[in-house]
Amino acid sequence: MNSNNQIKLGALLSYFSIAVNVIAGLFYTPWMINSIGRENFGLYTLAMSVIGLFLFDFGLSSAVTRFIAKYLAEGRVEKANQCLGLVYRLYFGIDVFLFIVLIAVFFFIPRIYQELTFDEIERFKIIYVIAAFYSVLSFPFIPVNGVLTAHEKFVQLKLCDVTHKIIIVGTMSVCLLLGYGLYALVLVNVFAGLITIVLKLYCIKYFTPQEINWNYWNKIELKEIASYSSWVTIASLAQRCIFNIAPSILGVLSGSVAIAILGIAITLEGYTYTFANALNGLFLPKVSRIVADDGDLLPLMIKVGRIQILIISLIIWGFVCLGEDFITLWVGENFNTSYICAVLIIFPSLLQLPQEIGQQVIIAQNKVKQQAFVYLGMAILNLLGAALLTPKYGAVGLCCSIFVAYLFRTIGLDYILYKQLRIDIWKFFFESYVKMIPALIVSLVLGFFVSEFILIEGIWGFLCDCIVFIIVYFIVMWYFAMNANEKRIFIGLFNRITRG
């Protein structure tokens, strides 16, 4: 299967995986809250953030994708094998270090999470041990995504992701039906993660020529990989100072109820990000080839960016207009504050995600040092804002801090693209955002009218609101925003779906 078909099918599978995840989440999140309680849901959110925080690859996964894609583009397959051997040596060393750190952190849990009650601390210690065990066991397998991406095996990669979602949905539903509690729900995520690792290893063995050269050693190349990875590490650590550390900040300064409120907002932001970002991650090998050939990346950036704006605006505008009713229907009035939190952390996606091709260019052009400084500034800004706002305003204050930090990140990355990489970012904004602004404003205003004038109560009223909003949005964007190419893409997708 050629690269373009892999990208198309990979994108479709990404959206299917996200649809499974979103639909399942809509059903079992309120089910979970009702089954285990709001405080335990806060602890579950905290546990998932710990898994995400310590499943940290120190930039090596990005290095795997970049260097292997580069060597494959140059036809140097053996160099790709040698590179993977060097990377795995680093991974095993870091895994030992991670194990020691996790043990040390365990003994400081009561001091770190002082706003949790004694009973909550004891329960969290148990789920921390489960999360730590999974982190140490799965850490060496983080590069498998990078290997499959570098070989453009997007279909296999996304099928594994779909399987992961289905396993989580199925086993979690069984656990809730049988009345199992917090610990079982955390174990479900561990079980699904381990099964997915095995599937991805199978795909690498049977669908790629990739091997690991364990005998190869080159100090200069190892230094190059480590140098690249160190800057990606700084950027990744800074990124984790946003959502992975946010529940811990609330655990220190606010409490488990605030964590639960934030957990709902983070879930909604995660749906937005994964849905919009499904297309972006498939382009790094293609970007690497364009860079190797000294080609012009701006047309690809504009083409993908406009499509992303169409998708992201539908999600964000829909949530701004109808999100408060949705949250009330979904998890109850106790979580109404989550609406404000979600709007604050989702809105910056409208500026950042359509520019993700630019992020791939930064990686392909090895400008990760400059990127790291931007992310470091974002993290410092967020932590300072959180320290000032969270004690008084709780989850809302923390989300205000995230909102400002994300805007800083977008401006900083645009500066790199414009000054360092000579990409005409002004032309990108004009061709994408400026040309679409009138239609975006009209669709948002009409969306508010839809939410105000359809007065049917309950779930059916909400569904009517959603259907009318989507129709109105589509009509406005079709006639006033979409170009001929985008209309062709939509018609082709519609024909493919209707023909089965």
Is residue 234 over pLDDT 60?
yes
User: With pLDDT > 90 as the criterion, what percentage of the chain qualifies?
Assistant: 17
Average pLDDT over residues 259-288: 68
What's the average model confidence in pLDDT over 4-27? Answer: 68
pLDDT digits (tens, 9 = 90+) for 406-422: 999 999 999 999 988 88
Reported as a single tens digit per residue, the pLDDT across 181-233 is 888 888 888 899 999 999 999 998 888 888 888 888 888 887 877 777 778 77
pLDDT tens by residue, 84-131: 888 888 778 888 888 898 898 888 888 888 777 888 888 888 988 888
Check residue 178 and give its pLDDT: 85
Q: Which pTM value belongs to this model?
A: 0.70
Q: Please check the confidence at residue 4 and state whether its pLDDT lies above 60.
A: no
Percent of the chain with pLDDT over 70: 86
pLDDT per position as a tens digit, 356-395: 888 878 877 778 889 889 999 999 998 899 889 888 888 8
| Mean pLDDT for the stretch of residues 20-38 | 76
Identify the pLDDT of residue 474: 93
Kindly tell me if the per-residue pLDDT of 280 is higher than 60: no
pLDDT tens-place string over residues 152-175:
787 888 888 888 888 888 888 888
- Mean pLDDT across the chain: 81
List all residues 6 or more positions away from 459 whose beta carbon is below 8 Å from its beta carbon.
329
